[in-house]
Amino acid sequence: MATEKITMPQLGESVTEGTISKWLVEPGNEIKKYDPIAEVTTDKVNAEVPSSFTGVIKEIVASEGETLAVGDLMCYIETEGSGDDTAADTSGAGKAENENKQEAPAEKDTSMKKRYSPAVLRLAQENDIDLEQVEGTGKGGRITRKDILKLIESGNVPKPDDKPKEEAVKPQKQPQASDKKETAQPASVPVAPGDVEIPVNGVRRAIANNMVRSKHEAPHAWTMVEVDVTNLVNYRNRVKNDFKNKEGYSLTFLPFFIKAVVEGLKEFPRLNSMWAGDKIIEKKEINISIAVATDDALYVPVIKGADEKSIKGLAKSVNELAGKVRSNRLTGDDMQGGTFTVNNTGSFGSVLSQPIINYPQAAILSVESIVKRPVVMENGMIAVRDMVNLCLSLDHRVLDGLVAGRFLARVKEILENISEDNTSIY
């Protein structure tokens, strides 16, 4: 018999750690290669981790709720022999640990050193740790939660006062201090009789972490336009029954809005960008993230190649992804690669909102409720029209008001000119 390690895999691009939300096995369980052993949550995806080996679970090292860096040990598994099969398996997640150890001393990459996770920021603030003096062991020199805990346990905690004098006088602001109000947690919350305590599960924790990171790193700006979608509403209402009978799923308003957004992104590609520290990356692909809510969480699956799809194709993608979320069949691939987010807050009756950017994207658009309102027309007459507000939050590092305003104006123009004569669903 041979004992093999199963380590935390990298579950997405730029993902450096994951939280074990639930173990699916126990010590003594027999499992086959590729069988799921645990549910893991990151700031991008909730996914099952498969076993790299066939054998018996020997020991579970990490506990539920624990956050591990990529390559950290999750559990041990006993296999029959240690031949070529098991050696080949370590080329995946298990190999990440060795690669990290080999690469770190060779390159001393520090590109991720100041990319602090909410957990690292909180621990640093609670223990008065100067993060600039901490050596990170994560990818790109990133400081992990494990690094901070190890420092605390050793008692050798670098304080802000420990800095050399020439550095102390520099007018630099500590990265964690700027977000102290947002990330700091109250020491205790009084619980009165009748109060309900709800444990924070892995999905909710990942949502919270990503929202805090977005607000901490991206300077948000916000703008809105009002759009007359009377022609769109009439067109969709005329064709929705035939569409449902022909295609087998409903034609909602959302695909029309996504189509207009995609056309706008083609003309203003800076909205389809991401901040990368010393540069801005305009993404070639247009992959639209859409928000799908369940009773206790919000998922953001991605419509890949949205610029190549018709309104019918977009409607099909929306229907399939929403179905996957509600039947718990969403995969890691379904959640990756988004370049711009469209949030359908109007489905809940909202008429005005200020969405938080889906980090690391540069912007997010909320489509509010379509409501009938009296509107003064160009001829001075008052008419009842179908109106909708489009709310755009943007990363001001990447985008300025001018380009964002022009983008919204173009999306408004496209939507107001949708009709049966000039808009094909297919």
Model confidence at 301, pLDDT cuts 50, 70, 90, reads very high
Model confidence at 169, pLDDT cuts 50, 70, 90, reads very low
Q: What is the mean pLDDT of the chain?
A: 82
Tell whether pTM > 0.75.
no
> For 336-356, how does the pLDDT look when each residue is reduced to its tens digit (9 = 90+)?
899 999 999 988 899 999 999
> For 204-225, how does the pLDDT look when each residue is reduced to its tens digit (9 = 90+)?
677 777 778 788 888 999 999 9
On the question of pLDDT at 383 being above 60, the answer is yes
Q: For residues 79 and 70, what is the distance between their CA atoms, to the nearest angstrom?
A: 23
Which residues are catalytic, by number? 396, 400
Give Cβ neighbours of residue 161 (< 8 Å, ≥ 6 apart).
168
Model confidence at 56, pLDDT cuts 50, 70, 90, reads very high
Average pLDDT over residues 86-101: 44
On the question of pLDDT at 260 being above 80, the answer is yes
- End-to-end CA distance of the chain, in Å? 59
pLDDT of 16: 79
As annotated, the residues of the chain forming the CATH 3.30.559.10 domain(s) are 219-416
The runs of H, that is alpha helices, within 60-142 are 84-89, 95-107, 118-126
Please, what is the Cα angle at 269 between 369 and 358, to 5 degrees?
Answer: 50
Classified by CATH at the fold level, domain 219-416 comes out as Chloramphenicol Acetyltransferase (3.30.559)
Give Cβ neighbours of residue 375 (< 8 Å, ≥ 6 apart).
228, 382, 383, 384, 385, 387
pLDDT of 165: 44
With b for 16 or more beta-carbon neighbours within 10 A and e for fewer, the 113-145 pattern comes to bbbbbbbbbbbbbeeebbbbebebbbbbbbbbb
Model confidence at 298, pLDDT cuts 50, 70, 90, reads confident
* Least confident range of 116-120, 330-334, 414-418: 116-120
Model confidence at 365, pLDDT cuts 50, 70, 90, reads very high
pLDDT of 106: 47
On the question of pLDDT at 421 being above 80, the answer is yes
**Total H helices, total E strands in the chain:** 11, 19
Average pLDDT over residues 256-280: 94
Q: Residue 260 is inside which H or E element, if any?
A: helix 254-267
Residue 90 tokens, joined: 């370590």
As annotated, the residues of the chain forming the CATH 2.40.50.100 domain(s) are 2-95
Calculate what percentage of the chain has a pLDDT beyond 70.
80
pLDDT of 105: 47
Give Cβ neighbours of residue 76 (< 8 Å, ≥ 6 apart).
3, 4, 5, 6, 57, 58, 59, 61
Residue 135 tokens, joined: 């050596």
Under DSSP, is residue 375 helix (H, G, I), strand (E, B) or coil? strand
Do 43 and 170 form a contact (C-beta atoms < 8 A)? no
Classified by CATH at the fold level, domain 2-95 comes out as OB fold (Dihydrolipoamide Acetyltransferase, E2P) (2.40.50)
What phi and psi values does residue 51 have, to the nearest 5 degrees?
-75, 140
Q: For residues 60 and 74, what is the distance between their CA atoms, to the nearest angstrom?
A: 7
Do 369 and 335 form a contact (C-beta atoms < 8 A)? no
